[in-house]
Structure 1
């Protein structure tokens, strides 16, 4: 016997025998949450009427003054058809028993009452009542769940042929159809043309094979507007386990889908803008590099021109040096001839003319040497300045370009032009060495003094 279950019950005990009533009342009070007591049928009915919301079970005698147990029970049954009743009697009267059965008496107990038997029967009743209360509670919770689902989700029921047999209010509000227009229609009546029929074929096959189906459905309203739902559909079974239809719970995710699509479009737009900006930056850097290449080509031409001019100057210098040597040779020859001939005056005049020519040639050589020396020196300075500026530009462009472009080939090209600039400097130095190698000491002393 589960005393905890009995303690959940409140009992109405009706008995006209004071001794029996007091003894049993004291005993029952230890097992029940509360025991209401009445001494006859009329008082029993009055106590019930005043406390009917609190009384769970009735224990009553049959033969009582004022109102017997059967008549009291008839009056109570007019108010409650379900409250359980235990009847006690000192006589086994078939007529009374038949009347008690008609009044749906739970148990018929012969006096003197076997308390143990009574408590066991009461315990079984308490267990039944407890199970009923749990069932009512579960049903209440299910009703609450149903109310919540109906308020927040689209609910559709179908028969075994997937024909709509029920739709909730939210489904009608969402689609624009009324219930009459939808009942008897196929489940896919609101299918969007973009949806493949194979999806519904697979859905029907799974559900009718006692499997659930979950997926996203694209639908059309009565006004041909699109809405998207997250659909979960399960089969409905009867008591024999046979499929009698299906129930679908759907959640409108149109806003979520649209937001997701908008986010994807925004991301694609941002990526496109970044690509365009990157491409524009790359084009700008390529233009700068192309301009730099053109400047390098111009400077290269200037170097080549300067080299040709230097070669020309060296050739002229060698030519004048050779003429000077010839003049010196002629002067020596004239001096030798002057010693062999007696015409001293003529030799002196010629010698004076030669000396004058030599002097002029030396002056011209000095003038050309000074002129070429200044031009060479100025060209060296100009080219050095241009090289320095070009290297600074290269460094600046390289830093900017490396922030955007990491192309190894381009970096190698930049390194190449750096080395090319350095090689041009070496080339100028080599030209200086050639000048040193072809000029005499007196000329070199004037150039590099």
Structure 2
């Protein structure tokens, strides 16, 4: 049989054997195959070594043990190990097929056992199999721990509920209860899909069910219907949670609040910014024209009044330009507030509604202000044309 020698070389093995000849035979070969093999003769020494190495890079990955000792028997040894090391693989080496002993060790989650005589190939095969299985179990446990930590954090800023494989809810967080307007007692035990809006497309539900049953996560947008017949929209991700047998035990639904017209708001803000840039461009062009007219006026001694008018117009333009900058800063501040509201979904829904209302008011003011400024620009363009006509008239008159 082929063994994964690279994997075996990462393992630390504790070999508990009171027969010196057996220890000598196996020590010559096992030392070369594993990272380190600890040989001890008594249960007392084994327990000390386990405790000594548990927080070091020599932490024991598997115990291979004789079943009979002078200080304690094998069952007592296994029971003591399980008090501190519940998941460490433990393989017994038995003198004979002692049914009572086997029944006793099964109570303490024995990994495997041998009946003497034993050979090296059998030992390596069982060690590799047991440690690979333990590695997979550790990965699952770490994954579960990460999910729980992630859920703990997400639970503070998102809408969270959990449901069983049969789709019935067994947990809801406060944010979900606040939005859906139902008591927790009513929500528990209900099909989570019963709180989707009735116009949710059938193919979305079918796709969601198919993906979740396959053990994959589902991600998409969901529309919920509340107890008072209002709606709210979420960006949703549903994650399956597995047990050590890779069976799905539950699903976690994590939702972030969105709005149907969110894209429309983004497009509106982009249009406002474009209009601001376009207005700046128009003012810049008007300023260049004014500068050109100033150059002409400087060659004419009799146009002091016109020059004064132009300087006054320039000052007004500068003030309007300053107002545009302040308006842009205000829009940027409101945009930041909107992003903070989106991230801080843990705030009260009433606060979110109030801030969105403020944003709409500001946007209406921006529209009104833009219309006023466009009218002013048109008036200034008309004035510039009049000034140009007047200058041409005066130049023609002076030439005559």
TM norm structure 2: 0.54
Kindly state the Cα deviation for residue 114 of structure 1 after the two structures are TM-superposed.
0.4
Three-state SS of the structure 2 residue aligned to 1:13 is: strand
Give 5+ residue unaligned stretches, structure 1.
191-198, 290-390, 400-417, 426-449
Kindly state the Cα deviation for residue 76 of structure 1 after the two structures are TM-superposed.
2.8
Kindly state the Cα deviation for residue 252 of structure 1 after the two structures are TM-superposed.
5.8
| Counterpart among 130, 135, 158 of residue 135 in structure 2 | 130
Partner of 1:381: none
- Deviations 1:207-233, CA, capped at 9 Å, x for gaps: 5323468458699999xxx99754336
Partner of 1:272: 371
C-alpha spacing 1:95/1:157, structure 2 compared with 1 (3 Å): closer
Distance 1:48 1:78 in 2: 12
Q: Equivalences for 1:423-438 in 2 at 5 Å?
A: none
Partner of 2:31: 29
C-alpha spacing 1:264/1:56, structure 2 compared with 1 (3 Å): same
- Deviations 1:287-315, CA, capped at 9 Å, x for gaps: x69xxxxxxxxxxxxxxxxxxxxxxxxxx
Distance 2:149 2:81 in 1: 32
Matching of residue 209 in structure 1 with residue 206 in structure 2:
yes
Three-state SS of the structure 2 residue aligned to 1:91 is: coil
Partner of 1:118: 123
Higher RCO structure (Cα 8 Å, ≥6 apart): 2
| Counterpart among 197, 200, 210 of residue 197 in structure 2 | 200
Instruction: State whether residues 15 and 61 of structure 1, in contact with CA within 8 Å, keep that contact through their aligned partners in structure 2.
Output: yes
C-alpha spacing 1:160/1:49, structure 2 compared with 1 (3 Å): closer
C-alpha spacing 1:274/1:115, structure 2 compared with 1 (3 Å): same
Three-state SS of the structure 2 residue aligned to 1:63 is: coil
Distance 1:169 1:109 in 2: 54
Partner of 2:74: 69
Instruction: State whether residues 16 and 41 of structure 2, in contact with CA within 8 Å, keep that contact through their aligned partners in structure 1.
Output: yes
- Deviations 1:66-91, CA, capped at 9 Å, x for gaps: 32323322333444444322122343
Q: Equivalences for 1:140-155 in 2 at 5 Å?
A: 140-155=145-160
Partner of 1:250: 256
- Deviations 1:232-259, CA, capped at 9 Å, x for gaps: 36597999x99x9993512367935838
Partner of 1:232: 236
Instruction: State whether residues 200 and 223 of structure 2, in contact with CA within 8 Å, keep that contact through their aligned partners in structure 1.
Output: no
Distance 1:393 1:202 in 2: 67
Instruction: State whether residues 227 and 252 of structure 1, in contact with CA within 8 Å, keep that contact through their aligned partners in structure 2.
Output: no
Kindly state the Cα deviation for residue 123 of structure 1 after the two structures are TM-superposed.
0.7
C-alpha spacing 1:103/1:236, structure 2 compared with 1 (3 Å): closer
C-alpha spacing 1:140/1:7, structure 2 compared with 1 (3 Å): farther
Partner of 1:4: 6
Structure label with greater radius of gyration: 1
Instruction: State whether residues 239 and 253 of structure 2, in contact with CA within 8 Å, keep that contact through their aligned partners in structure 1.
Output: yes
Distance 1:76 1:283 in 2: 94
Matching of residue 91 in structure 1 with residue 96 in structure 2:
yes
TM norm structure 1: 0.49
Distance 1:271 1:171 in 2: 40
Distance 1:19 1:26 in 2: 11
Instruction: State whether residues 61 and 131 of structure 2, in contact with CA within 8 Å, keep that contact through their aligned partners in structure 1.
Output: no
Q: Equivalences for 1:16-415 in 2 at 5 Å?
A: 16-51=18-53, 54-157=59-162, 165-171=170-176, 179=184, 200-203=197-200, 205-211=202-208, 214-215=220-221, 230-232=234-236, 247=253, 249-251=255-257, 255-256=338-339, 258=356, 261=360, 264-265=363-364, 267-281=366-380, 393=390, 395=392
Give 5+ residue unaligned stretches, structure 2.
209-217, 263-337, 343-355
Three-state SS of the structure 2 residue aligned to 1:87 is: strand
Instruction: State whether residues 207 and 246 of structure 1, in contact with CA within 8 Å, keep that contact through their aligned partners in structure 2.
Output: no
C-alpha spacing 1:201/1:395, structure 2 compared with 1 (3 Å): farther
